[in-house]
Structure 1
Amino acid sequence: MAAQSPPIMKTSHQCRLLDLPVELQLNIYELVVIVDEPLLLNCGCDSSYRGKDHSEREDADREAWSTGALHAPHEPNITRTCRFIRDLTIPIFYKENQFLAHYCHAADFDVALAWLENIGSQKREFLARLALFDANSNYDEWCPDQIEEAKHKLDHRFFGKTESVVTKESGIFRPVTFAHGDEETDQESEVSLDDELSALRLVSVDEPEADSQDECLLGSEELKC
C-alpha cells in the first residue's frame, strides 16, 4: 500500500503590523525610514573631500554618481507595501530626514533639481530639513555667484526660498522651503523630465502602488491589510 502524502496545510498570512495601534505603528515606521546621516541629492563639492587621498575619493564618487552606483535617495521599501502604510510613512521620510544639495561649481546641481522635480510638489512641501550645503563655510563669500544661481533655480522652478543661513563646524547650510502653487510647473516639465531622469537613473514615483483593495506586498508573500 502506497504511503499517503501528508495533508497540505493552508496558512493565512496576516499583516500583523496593522493590528497595532497607530501610535505604535508610527514609532516603528520612524525607526525604519529615518536615518542618522544626511541624504545627499548630488555629488559633494570639492571642499567635502579632504586628506591625502581626497582626489582619488572625489574622482571615485563622481564616477559612481555618473553611473548610478550612487544616487539621490529612493523612498524606503516599506512605503510601497500598501496605501495605508504609504500614507503614514511618506510624510515621515520627507519631514524627518535631512537632505543636502551641494551647489558649488564642481557639484552637478541639476541632479538635485531633477530629484526635487521628480518627487512632486506635495512631497517638496514635506521637506522640512532640506538645505543647500557646502563644507567650506566661507564659500559664499568667495563665490557669491554660485549660491545666487542655485537660489534662482530653486525659486524659478519650484518657488523654493532660501532666506536663512546656518554656519556650523561642518560647513554652511541654507535651509530651503517650498511654497504652494507649483503644480503647474510640474505638469509643464513632465515630458522633458522623463528623458532627464532616465539619463540620471533616478527612480520614478510613477511605479505601481498597491491596488484599491489595499493589499500589502511584503517580499513574495501577499498579506491582507
Structure 2
Amino acid sequence: MAEDRHTRADNEGGSTKCPNEAKCRLLALPAELRLQIYEYAVLKSRPVIITRRETKAGRKAQLIQPALSKTCRSIREDALKIYYSKTRFAATYSSWGDRGRKDWRRNASTINRWLRCIGAKNRGLINSLEVFGYCIREFNNPHEIWYIAAHRKLMHRELGEVAQLGGEFKPGAKGMFLVCFPSCDEDSVASVDDHLREGS
C-alpha cells in the first residue's frame, strides 16, 4: 500500500512548512472564499474508491491525499478537513464466488490499512464510507443461502456498527448490499484486525 510513501504523522497533521506563507496570496483571501476554493480543488463528484478491485488497471488504493494539502501547513489543515468530511469514500468488501474468501480477506485488509494510514484525526472527520458487498454466484439451491447469512454476520462483526444495511437476497439472483458507516472509530478498525487474525 502507500504507507511507505505517507507516514501516519504526515497523513494526520502534516509537517509541510512554507517559508513564504506570510506572502501567500491565497491565504490573504477572506476565509469564506478560501474554503470555497479548497472545496473546488479537493472534492470530486464521484466517490473515492479505496479498494484495488474498483480502480482502473489494478491501481493501488487511493491513499494519496489532494495535492493542495501538500502546499503548507495552514492550507493542509483546512483542505484535509474538507476532503475527509465531505468526500464520499467507497470500497468493495467482498465477492462470494470461486475466490470468495480470498477476495473478502484482501479487501478487508485494504480497508483496514487505509483507515490506519490516514490516522485517527482524519478518520474522525469521515462522514461517508460506503462498503459495497456482492455475490457473483447464483444461489439456485436453497441450501446455499447460508452463504448470505454468514456474509451479513461477518460484515457486522468485522466492520463495527452499521448505520444502514440494505439489499434483498433471493435464490437464483445475485445478492447485493450496501453498508454505510456513520463514523470510523478505533473499535471499527480494530474489529477488522481481530477477524483477519482469526481467519489467517
State the Cα deviation string for residues 159-214 of structure 1 (Å, max 9, x = none).
xx2131355xxx632111336666xx6xxx9xxxxxxxxxxxxxxxxxxxxxxxxx
Instruction: Please report the TM-score for the alignment, with normalisation by the length of structure 1.
Output: 0.54
1:38 aligns to what? 47
Cα distance between partner residues in 2 of 1:179 and 1:128: 8
**Conserved? CA contact 1:72–1:112, under 8 Å:** no
Aligned-partner residue type, residue 88 of structure 2: Q
1:198 aligns to what? none
Aligned-partner residue type, residue 111 of structure 2: A
Secondary structure of 1:100's aligned partner: strand
Q: In structure 2, list runs of 5 or more residues that go unmatched.
A: 1-19, 95-99, 140-144, 168-175, 194-200
2:82 is the counterpart of 1:92: yes
Q: 1:148 to 1:17 in 2, by over 3 A?
A: same
State the Cα deviation string for residues 57-82 of structure 1 (Å, max 9, x = none).
x9x84xx2xxxx33223111111211
Cα distance between partner residues in 2 of 1:146 and 1:127: 25
Residue-pair matches, total: 147
State the Cα deviation string for residues 46-101 of structure 1 (Å, max 9, x = none).
xx8xxxxxxxxx9x84xx2xxxx332231111112111111111111011111112
Judging by fraction of residues, say which structure has more helix.
2
Aligned-partner residue type, residue 162 of structure 1: V
1:77 aligns to what? 67
Secondary structure of 2:60's aligned partner: coil
Cα distance between partner residues in 1 of 2:134 and 2:159: 20
Instruction: Please report the TM-score for the alignment, with normalisation by the length of structure 2.
Output: 0.60
Q: In structure 1, list runs of 5 or more residues that go unmatched.
A: 1-11, 49-57, 156-160, 190-225
Largest Rg, 1 or 2? 1
**Conserved? CA contact 1:39–1:73, under 8 Å:** no
Q: 1:166 to 1:89 in 2, by over 3 A?
A: farther
Q: 1:147 to 1:175 in 2, by over 3 A?
A: same
1:25 aligns to what? 34
